[in-house]
Amino acid sequence: MSKAIVDAVQKHPAPEGLKYIYGTAGFRTKADVLDSVLTRVGLVAALRSRSLKGKWIGVMITASHNPPEDNGVKLVEPLGNMLQEEWEVLSTDMANKANGDEVLQYYNEIASKYKIDLDAPARVVVARDTRASGARLLGCVQDGLKAAGAEVKDYGFLTTPQLHYMVRCLNTEGTKDAYGTPSEKGYYEKFGAAFKTALKGKRPQGSLTIDCANGVGGPKLVELIKYLPPKEEALEIHVVNDNVIKPESLNVDCGADFVKTNQRAPPSSKTGPGDRCCSLDGDADRVVFYFKDQANVFRLLDGDRIATLVASFLGDQVRLAGLADSIKIGVVQTAYANGAATQYVEQHLKLKVDCTPTGVKHLHHAAEKLDIGVYFEANGHGTVIFSADTLDTIAKYEPKNPGQAEALSVLRACIDLINQSVGDALSDALLVEVVLAHKSWTTQEWLSTYTDLPNRLLKVLVSDRTIFKTTDAERRLTSPEGLQKQIDVEVSKVRQGRSFARASGTEDAVRVYAEAATKAEAEDLARKVAELVKQAGSS
């Protein structure tokens, strides 16, 4: 095995002078400098699986919403969670070893540190999105996995959430927690059936247009639709931007990131006022909704809106089922959540809100502590998770009347409809449709639940973003010294002001967020804070 590892690593030498970091979303950069990283990730995946007694570990090759020439890779834990933080550090170290001998030495060090039996079985599931570089990078991972003697299941093209689903299914197969059949068909059958049951014969108003960012979500959605009830009985879906033949069109002028960042529909959109639309990102783990109102003004319904909609609906169902005393719902957000959304959840829905640092893993961990944890990043990344006790309560509860029975049945179907392993744009979009159908709401009614505070997100380029250190779920800076005080002064000058700055985990930049009572004040505040960040970053 040792020689095979050295050979595999030497076959994909690391470019000189580059430092790789396993960040918020794994390794992510230009695809042409990733070969060496992918081979080493193969080795780490095999080690991780062996450290967990041969449980299946996932490797997803994707760069999500990044441009077509980028790519990346993330590792998935046995139940579909993001990689454990300790192993993120090991992955970073492994990616930065200079050559085959150093990699081999480090491989053996990890094995001895974690008492990993290198002869034990290692099982790894791989999949990729539709980027042109994906096939080559898959070859690099395969070389690493083969050298480490891992058993490999290659699912070809999958959305990121589908890969997470496969990993969870494979690891729970045959147990009482069996999550589903580990195949694409199994995925479509599970979510398709749950959608039908959850609708309870109700129909969302009008059709839904889904923009697939010209990514892997397109063909997978087309497949999923075959498993949904016929459109005459349930939902009519129009699939747009599903061109995967031209990978250079991925995320270009379309997709969730384009819509959220530019606060407008993709230029190619042909929908009219009131038409309900949503956009997925390149690997289909993010979704945002939007529509044009009667005055033809673009209206965004982002992750905050999905969280509030879903939390209010699940709250209603829990109450109607007679379970309000035993099941508590909470919402988890990041500092990027609009202040109006936070206020709506706390004061109107009367639910608890937790705030965590950016990155799904933080939200997921916080949500795991709740009976029902609804977590969404404002950009549309999120899901709902149910604790083991809650699942048990809902499974065993005997309804006392037909009303309770109905609500209970909806709750059970929602549990199946919501991808418990990770945020899933396809499953989230169907969930939103179910809620709108039950509430008989149009997007306008959904939007009217509260009014977003005007806000602005800016990116500031600095020479060293690592000097920007934060506390209080990234809402306050502890370094550079004095900067937070200056920000506080600017915030105090505007009405309903809030602003914070933090180093991005995925880009070489500091992000500045600001919100205030009016658009002018929010923009002004963002600009002033960005200026302060720039000064502090250049001194």
Ligand X SMILES: CC(=O)N[C@H]1[C@@H](OP(=O)(O)O)O[C@H](CO)[C@@H](O)[C@@H]1O
Catalytic residues: 64
Which of ligand X, Mg ion, none interacts with 283 (beta carbon under 5 to 8 A by kind)?
Mg ion
Give the DSSP H/E element, type plus range, for residue 124.
strand 123-128
Q: Taking CB under 5 A as the rule, which mask of x and - marks residues 56-95 in contact with Mg ion?
A: --------x-------------------------------
HEC secondary structure over 12-72:
CCCCCCCCCCCEECEEEEEHHHCHHHHHHHHHHHHHHHHHCCCCEEEEEECCCCCCCCEEE
- Residue 196 half-sphere exposure toward CB, CA atoms < 13 A: 15
Give the 3-state secondary structure of residue 289. strand
Q: Segment 283-302, which members bind Mg ion (CB under 5 A)? A: 283, 285-286
Instruction: List the 27-30 sheet strands across, edge first.
Output: 27-30, 70-76, 56-61, 123-128, 151-157
Which of Mg ion, ligand X, none interacts with 312 (beta carbon under 5 to 8 A by kind)?
none
Q: Which residues make Cβ contacts (< 8 Å) with residue 54, sequence separation at least 6?
A: 120, 121, 122, 123
Alpha-carbon gap, residue 351 to 358, rounded angstroms: 21
Smallest distance, ligand X to C-beta of residue 68, A: 17
Closest CA to 522 of 496, 504, 501: 496
Q: Segment 349-378, which members bind ligand X (CB under 6 A)? A: 358-360, 377
The answer to whether residues 363 and 356 touch, using CB atoms and an 8 Å cutoff, is yes
Alpha-carbon gap, residue 348 to 341, rounded angstroms: 10
Our CB check for ligand X shows the closer of 416 and 474 to be: 474
Smallest distance, ligand X to C-beta of residue 6, A: 33
The answer to whether residues 335 and 500 touch, using CB atoms and an 8 Å cutoff, is yes
Smallest distance, ligand X to C-beta of residue 251, A: 12
Smallest distance, Mg ion to C-beta of residue 358, A: 14
Q: Segment 38-67, which members bind ligand X (CB under 6 A)? A: 64
Phi, psi of 382 (to 5 degrees): 175, 180
Alpha-carbon gap, residue 43 to 413, rounded angstroms: 39
Alpha-carbon gap, residue 196 to 477, rounded angstroms: 47
The reply, when asked if residue 437 is annotated as ligand binding, is: no
- As given in the structure block, the two tokens for residue 202 are 């109700």
The reply, when asked if residue 378 is annotated as ligand binding, is: yes
Our CB check for Mg ion shows the closer of 286 and 412 to be: 286
The reply, when asked if residue 285 is annotated as ligand binding, is: yes
Which of Mg ion, ligand X, none interacts with 505 (beta carbon under 5 to 8 A by kind)?
ligand X
**End-to-end CA separation in angstroms for the chain:** 50
Smallest distance, ligand X to C-beta of residue 22, A: 12
The reply, when asked if residue 36 is annotated as ligand binding, is: no
Which of Mg ion, ligand X, none interacts with 285 (beta carbon under 5 to 8 A by kind)?
Mg ion
The reply, when asked if residue 503 is annotated as ligand binding, is: yes
Closest CA to 344 of 311, 308, 369, 368: 308
The reply, when asked if residue 377 is annotated as ligand binding, is: yes
The reply, when asked if residue 502 is annotated as ligand binding, is: yes
Q: Taking CB under 6 A as the rule, which mask of x and - marks residues 477-516 in contact with ligand X?
A: ---------------------------xxxx---x-----
The reply, when asked if residue 283 is annotated as ligand binding, is: yes
Our CB check for ligand X shows the closer of 261 and 448 to be: 261
Q: Segment 298-337, which members bind ligand X (CB under 6 A)? A: 336
Residue count of the chain: 539
Q: Segment 391-430, which members bind ligand X (CB under 6 A)? A: none
Q: Taking CB under 6 A as the rule, which mask of x and - marks residues 10-39 in contact with ligand X?
A: --------------xx--------------
Our CB check for Mg ion shows the closer of 144 and 215 to be: 215
Smallest distance, Mg ion to C-beta of residue 73, A: 13
Binding site for Mg ion (CB under 5 A): 64, 281, 283, 285-286
Q: What are the binding residues for substrate?
A: 377-379, 502-506, 511
Binding site for ligand X (CB under 6 A): 24-25, 64, 336, 358-360, 377, 379, 381, 504-507, 511
